[in-house]
Amino acid sequence: AQKITQTQPGMFVQEKEAVTLDCTYDTSDQSYGLFWYKQPSSGEMIFLIYQGSYDEQNATEGRYSLNFQKARKSANLVISASQLGDSAMYFCAMREGETGTASKLTFGTGTRLQVTL
């Protein structure tokens, strides 16, 4: 079974609109972390936002917020007020377990977001 599932290969959004990128995950660990990364066409991976499994509040970082629904095992990324520079691939990733076993990041297959005028 896939550990991280991103069901939207591609998304379009108009400039200044909000967009939600879906991510569901599968783990039996109680302690885990969920991350979102942005990958522009140049290739580098840019860390956007983090949500811990024990965090009660949804994470926010500027225009990025994470809609964390633990019972549904979903961690959707919401980008508000989209900008042309937001056009990129977006990856959801998970890190499982406590210290010593938590080294591996498992990535989804990504969603390509295109922001239009």
Binding region for another protein (CB under 8 A) = 4, 31-33, 35, 37, 42-47, 50, 52-53, 91, 93, 95-100, 102-105, 107-110
Distance CA 34, CA 31 (A): 10
Based on CB atoms, which residue is closest to another protein, 78 or 102? 102
Closest distance to another protein from the beta carbon of 26 (Å): 15
Closest to another protein by CB, 45 or 81: 45
Q: Please name the residue that has the structure tokens 């290739």.
A: 43
Q: Are 2 and 27 in contact (CB under 8 A)?
A: no
Using left for φ > 0, alpha for ψ between -120 and 50, and beta otherwise, residue 74 falls in beta
Characterize the bridge pairing of strands 10-14 and 60-61.
Answer: unpaired
- Rounded to a whole number of angstroms, the minimum distance from the CB of residue 47 to another protein is 5
Q: How far is the CB of 100 from another protein (least distance, A)?
A: 7
Q: Which is nearer to another protein, 41 or 71 (CB)?
A: 41
